């Protein structure tokens, strides 16, 4: 059967003639897409982990000051909050980020031993701690990293705590955390009487009132009862806290730089390719190819580079996340799960990067004078 030449086949053959250059360009764009996949994937899964932290415990509203990391809310407001009619449970809490060992970081939570948030934890061994006692419970991932089991002790900033339980975390964030009595955490961080905020579970919405309306009403009631504090929906808190904002900013910033470099790599390859094929472009124009078709051919080549770079980049990104998830310093914050939406976004960005990178070389190639192009050496 006679060999059929297709437009995309022609584009691919043009790329494949300079295999080394094409492969090196692919490496560049795949590293850029890999960085995007890994970093943005990480920041999105980080946000998702925060969300699950709230939803798994049944928290509807977080009551905090504006600064997420401050531990400056008076614990004495607990009674006032619990007296708000819509509030079913109000749990004062502290959280902080600590270096447990030079290699292991963890989020440390301070809870009361009767908080409703224990209901969502499943213990692999042991059980919950008791107020006023130097006890901690560890997420299973952290316990594994630290090689701790129930009955062992854990040193944190000069104080020693007994591990009384190992719980199963639904997310890397939960599984990599330490939870300890609120009073012990206040002593440890010299914040007696102060908390980071309250986690609130609301009473069921009255019949006939929509969930949205009820949540807004509850926010208003809580803020009226506790002037100066913000009652934020758990979903807003998960996506708008400073940890997540920082993760998003770093991810997008670094990815943007990597993508810019990848785009420059493709642009350089395409510009060189167009220059080298000046005479061929002249031939195509001479045999009737319109300038738009020449432009389309060069853009198709750039898009193929982008697409292939995207496929490879997803592999690179997933591999990077997998490596990070194996490292004790980072595994508490990293998930290897990548959403289909994120993968689709990555492919769209990869192909768009190719198209942007190919735009100028394509324009230049398509505007060559056929006669001048044919004379080109």
Partner 1 sequence: MTDNQAAPQLEVRGLRKTYDDGRIEALRGVDLAIEAGEYIAISGASGSGKSTLLHLLGGLDVPTSGQVLFNGKPLDHIGLDEYRARQLGFIFQAFHLIPTLKAIENVQVPMLATGVDASTRAKRAETLLVEMGLEHRLNQYPNELSAGERQRVAIARALANNPSVLLADEPTGNLDSVNSAHMLVLLTGIQKARGMTLIIVTHENDIANAAPRHIRIRDGRIES
By CB under 8 A, name the binding residues for partner 1.
1-7, 10, 13-14, 16-17, 279-280, 283-291, 293, 369-371, 374
The Cβ-side half-sphere exposure at 67, using a 13 Å CA radius, reads 7
Residue 311 CB, nearest distance to partner 1 (Å)?
Answer: 23
Q: How far apart are CA 60 and CA 286, in angstroms?
A: 69
Q: Please state, in angstroms and rounded to a whole number, the distance separating the CA atoms of residues 158 and 266.
A: 54
Q: Which is nearer to partner 1, 81 or 297 (CB)?
A: 297
| Residue 13 or 168 having the CB closest to partner 1 | 13
CB of 368 to partner 1, least distance (A): 11
Q: Which of 162, 175, 172 lies closest to 124 in space, CA to CA?
A: 175
The least distance separating partner 1 from the CB of residue 375, rounded to whole angstroms, comes to: 10
Shortest gap between Cβ of 363 and partner 1 (angstroms)? 17
Q: Nearer to partner 1 by C-beta: 183 or 280?
A: 280
- According to DSSP, the β-strands at 153-156 and 73-74 are unpaired
Select 35 or 284, whichever has its Cβ closest to partner 1: 284
Closest distance between partner 1 and the C-beta of residue 44, in Å? 41
Do the bridges between strand 230-233 and strand 105-111 make them parallel or antiparallel, or are there none, so unpaired?
unpaired
Of the pair 5, 207, the CB lying nearest partner 1 is at 5
What is the three-class DSSP state of 257? helix
Toward partner 1, which CB reaches closer, 4 or 341? 4
202: left (phi over 0), alpha (psi -120 to 50) or beta: beta
The whole-angstrom separation of Cα 22 and Cα 35 is 20
| Residue 27 Cβ vs partner 1, minimum distance, rounded to whole Å | 22
Q: Are strands 178-181 and 105-111 parallel, antiparallel or unpaired?
A: parallel
């Amino acid at each position: 059967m006679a060999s059929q030449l297709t437009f995309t086949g022609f584009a691919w053959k043009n790329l494949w003639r300079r295999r080394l250059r094409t492969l090196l360009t692919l490496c560049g764009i795949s590293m850029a897409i890999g960085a995007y996949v890994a970093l943005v994937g990480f920041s999105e899964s980080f946000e998702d982990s925060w969300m699950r932290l709230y939803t798994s415990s049944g928290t509807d509203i977080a009551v905090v000051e504006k600064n997420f990391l401050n531990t400056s809310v008076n614990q004495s407001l607990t009674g006032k909050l619990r007296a708000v009619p819509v509030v079913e449970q109000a749990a004062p809490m502290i959280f902080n980020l600590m270096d447990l060992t030079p290699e292991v970081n963890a989020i440390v939570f301070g809870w009361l031993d009767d908080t409703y948030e224990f209901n969502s934890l499943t213990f692999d061994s042991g059980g919950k701690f008791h107020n006023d006692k130097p006890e901690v419970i560890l997420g299973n991932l952290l316990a594994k990293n630290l090689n701790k089991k129930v009955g062992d002790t854990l040193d944190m900033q000069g104080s020693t705590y007994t591990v009384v339980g190992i719980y199963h975390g639904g997310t890397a964030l939960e599984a990599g955390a330490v939870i300890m009595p609120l009073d012990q955490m206040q002593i440890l961080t010299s914040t007696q009487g102060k908390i980071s905020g309250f986690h609130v579970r609301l009473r069921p919405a009255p019949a006939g009132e929509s969930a949205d309306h009820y949540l807004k009403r509850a926010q208003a009631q809580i803020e009226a009862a506790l002037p100066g504090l913000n009652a934020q929906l758990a979903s807003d808190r998960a996506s708008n806290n400073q940890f997540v904002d920082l993760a998003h900013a770093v991810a997008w910033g670094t990815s943007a730089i990597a993508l810019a470099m990848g785009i420059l790599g493709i642009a350089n390859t395409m510009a060189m390719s167009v220059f080298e094929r000046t005479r061929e472009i002249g031939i195509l124009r001479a045999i009737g190819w319109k300038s738009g078709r020449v432009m389309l051919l060069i853009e198709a080549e750039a898009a193929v580079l982008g697409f292939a770079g995207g496929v490879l980049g997803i592999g690179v990104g997933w591999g990077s996340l997998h490596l990070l998830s194996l490292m004790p310093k980072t595994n508490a914050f990293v998930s290897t799960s990548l959403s289909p939406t994120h993968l689709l976004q990555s492919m769209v960005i990869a192909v768009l990067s190719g198209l942007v990178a190919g735009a100028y070389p394509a324009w230049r190639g398509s505007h060559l004078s056929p006669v001048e192009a044919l004379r080109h050496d």
